[in-house]
């Protein structure tokens, strides 16, 4: 470490990881640094396999020997000198998690630590309903909020719906059912309108619809009233009798 180092730089000297050939470089901290080059030029070898790998190895060494026994053994990268390293958060081209809404903060738990920090050092305040809406009212808070009449504890999950696409809810994709592949509008239930495998016209699954009394089994589905169509597709589980047997009727879509 240099004398009176102000921790403004990450110094790499003699990096030889993978295809690197004795590379030395100084990287400024708190700046946006971009590595560019053709495929195979050593960008990932320098950033991920050298700098980030050594940062992770040093962090693991701070744990007790007992905990290190449960962690993967990380070898020191092929490099002569690495100075000024700080904690590295790696966000590569692979998915960070199963949730499409995941961010660097949620994946690394940095978001949770920030919540703890604000809960300890902040001054909670409750304002009007749209005080913290920022153009959209779909915002929720978590923690202890203080009003003029006293304190009230509110425990709620943090949910940010503001700015999300109302159709995909921020996931980028929409899952829906193509009703034309589920039933034939031109046929009645007794004619085999339902095209889902296992729903034969004379089978028990279809009989719950024909015996329910909610729909006309002899009428083409396209001629259903709005109520009949809703009961056929979306009705909540309801107890009925089919051929004298107690069964549960449920709309075709949730079933």
Using one digit for the tens of pLDDT, what is the confidence trace for 127-152?
665 555 555 444 444 444 444 445 55
Q: Per residue in 79-106, pLDDT tens?
A: 999 988 888 888 776 665 667 777 777 7
Burial class (CB in 10 A: 0-12, 13-18, 19+), 137: exposed
Q: How far apart are CA 88 and CA 247, in angstroms?
A: 59
pLDDT at residue 130 in the model:
57
Any residues with CB less than 8 A from the CB of 65 and at least 6 apart, and which? Answer: none
How many independent structural domains does the chain possess? 2
Any residues with CB less than 8 A from the CB of 157 and at least 6 apart, and which? Answer: 140, 142
pLDDT at residue 47 in the model:
92
pLDDT at residue 141 in the model:
47
Q: Per residue in 32-41, pLDDT tens?
A: 999 998 988 8
**Alpha carbon 105 to chain centroid distance?**
12
Are residues 107 and 96 in contact, defined by beta-carbon separation less than 8 angstroms? Answer: yes
pLDDT at residue 97 in the model:
60
The stretches in the chain having pLDDT less than 50 are: 1, 4, 136-149
Any residues with CB less than 8 A from the CB of 17 and at least 6 apart, and which? Answer: 45, 46, 49, 50, 53, 77, 78, 79
**Token digits for 239?**
């107890």
Is residue 153 domain-resident? no
pLDDT at residue 145 in the model:
45
Where does a domain end: 83, 107, 133?
Answer: 83
Is residue 130 domain-resident? no
For 231, the domain range is 179-249
| DSSP-derived secondary structure letter, 114 | H
pLDDT at residue 127 in the model:
62
Is residue 110 domain-resident? no
Where does a domain end: 61, 83, 105?
Answer: 83
Is residue 214 domain-resident? yes
Specify the pTM.
Answer: 0.44
Q: How far apart are CA 60 and CA 195, in angstroms?
A: 57
Is residue 168 domain-resident? no
Where does a domain end: 28, 62, 83?
Answer: 83
């Amino acid at each position: 470490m240099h004398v009176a180092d102000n921790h403004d730089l990450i110094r790499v000297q003699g990096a030889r990881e993978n295809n690197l050939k004795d590379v030395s470089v100084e990287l400024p901290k708190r700046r946006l640094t971009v590595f560019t080059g053709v495929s195979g030029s050593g960008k990932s070898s320098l950033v991920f396999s050298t700098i980030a790998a050594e940062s992770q190895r040093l962090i693991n060494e701070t744990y007790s020997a007992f905990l290190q026994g449960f962690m993967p053994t990380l070898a020191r990268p092929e490099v002569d000198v690495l100075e000024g390293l700080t904690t590295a958060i790696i966000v590569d081209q692979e998915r960070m998690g199963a949730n499409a809404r995941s961010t660097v903060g949620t994946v690394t738990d940095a978001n949770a630590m920030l919540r703890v920090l604000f809960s300890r050092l902040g001054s909670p305040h409750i304002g009007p309903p749209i005080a913290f809406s920022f153009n959209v009212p779909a915002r929720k808070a978590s923690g202890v909020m203080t009003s003029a009449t006293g304190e009230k504890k509110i425990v709620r999950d943090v949910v940010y719906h503001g700015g999300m696409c109302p159709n995909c809810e921020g996931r980028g994709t929409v899952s829906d059912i193509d009703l034309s592949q589920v039933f034939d509008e031109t046929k009645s239930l007794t004619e085999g309108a339902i095209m889902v495998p296992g729903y034969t016209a004379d089978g028990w699954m279809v009989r719950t619809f024909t015996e329910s009394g909610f729909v006309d089994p002899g009428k083409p589905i396209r001629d259903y009233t709005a109520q009949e169509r809703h009961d056929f597709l979306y009705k909540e589980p309801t107890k009925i009798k089919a051929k004298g047997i107690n069964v549960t009727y449920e709309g075709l879509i949730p079933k």
